[in-house]
Amino acid sequence: MSKQANKVKDKTLYTLHSNICKALANPIRIEIIDILSNKEMSFGELQEATGVLKSNLSQHLTVLVSKGILIQRKEGLNAYYKLSTIKVATACQIMREVLIDNIKKQQKLIN
Amino acid sequence: MSKQANKVKDKTLYTLHSNICKALANPIRIEIIDILSNKEMSFGELQEATGVLKSNLSQHLTVLVSKGILIQRKEGLNAYYKLSTIKVATACQIMREVLIDNIKKQQKLIN
DNA sequence: TTATTAGTTTACAAAACTATAAACAATATT
DNA sequence: AATATTGTTTATAGTTTTGTAAACTAATAA
């Protein structure tokens, strides 16, 4: 018999897993991941690209870094961000395919 | 010039994309996707497997179906659920790898 | 028809998330 | 040293998400 009592399952992994997935659960953070999918960028460039208020952008970047999705590098006054691994962009891309497939299915229902 | 005014970007896709990713942003829904990754299951079996209150389970299943992640099939008194596409399980698996990689990195920092 | 079973919907309070504004800190420039 | 620039942190109000309980609906069995 395992350490876990019968029928009492350890859900820690599911909680950790969902915590990292929460990083994808916001349109601004999806946009940031999208922009950074193939290059590093500075905070200022991200601000320009997203049009988001700097305090808000900083908060979202903090979330992504804290979950290990982005890596931050500081150089003088500037901060640079990049994906910690291409896997994140891949997972993101697959979820976008699911979205597109669903939209296509809905359109078929209409026609 | 496009229909969008200069520098005013259309973020609709990012919003739709994040909306579907929100399905992954909960431990119970991650568990459901995990359980259904390779088989169809009835509501009752899912209840047994997850140990979640039936009203809550029904709510989470409703979220997953409404986002096109699960397909529901009814047969008499019973309801059966399965993934609409294997892609969701794939994306989920990749995010789990990101999680595991990050945990390993943290452990290296300690040792 | 009445009761039972299986699952859904609704109401609601607690917790988590979000965007804005303002204060702050760190580095670089004059 | 004083100022400007870049980015972070904090406070806060509004919104969304969540789990529980209770009421409800639909299909089957007695």
pLDDT value at residue B24: 98
Q: CA-to-C1' distance for A38 and C2, Å?
A: 66
Nearest to B101 by CA among A38, A61, A85: A85
Record: contact A98-B90, CB cut-off 8 A: no
Q: Which of A8, A18, A87 comes nearest B26 by C-beta? A: A18
Pairing state of beta strands A78-83 and B70-75?
unpaired
pLDDT value at residue B109: 83
User: What three-state secondary structure class fits A71?
Assistant: strand
> Does B8 have pLDDT greater than 90?
no
> Does B37 have pLDDT greater than 90?
yes
pLDDT value at residue B23: 98
What are the boundaries of each domain within chain A?
A: 3-110
Tokens matching residue A101: 């497939």
Tally Cβ neighbours within 10 Å of residue B62. Answer: 12
pLDDT band for B6, please (50, 70, 90 cuts). Answer: very low
Q: Kindly give the parts of chain A with pLDDT less than 50.
A: 1-6
Record: contact B99-A28, CB cut-off 8 A: no
Mean pLDDT of B55-65: 98
User: Which residues in chain A have Cβ-Cβ distances shorter than 8 Å to B108?
Assistant: none
Averaged confidence pLDDT in chain B? 93
Tokens matching residue B29: 């829904």
Q: A35, A94, A103, A106: best mutation site toward chain B, by most B Cβ within 10 Å?
A: A94
pLDDT band for B83, please (50, 70, 90 cuts). Answer: very high
pTM of the model: 0.93
pLDDT band for B10, please (50, 70, 90 cuts). Answer: confident
pLDDT value at residue A8: 58
Of A58-62, B11-15, B104-108, the range with the lowest mean pLDDT is B104-108
pLDDT value at residue B3: 38
Fold of B3-110: Arc Repressor Mutant, subunit A (1.10.10)
User: Which residues in chain B have Cβ-Cβ distances shorter than 8 Å to A68?
Assistant: 98, 101-102, 105
Q: Which of B14, B30, B34 comes nearest A27 by C-beta? A: B14
Strand C contact with B50 (CB < 7 A): no
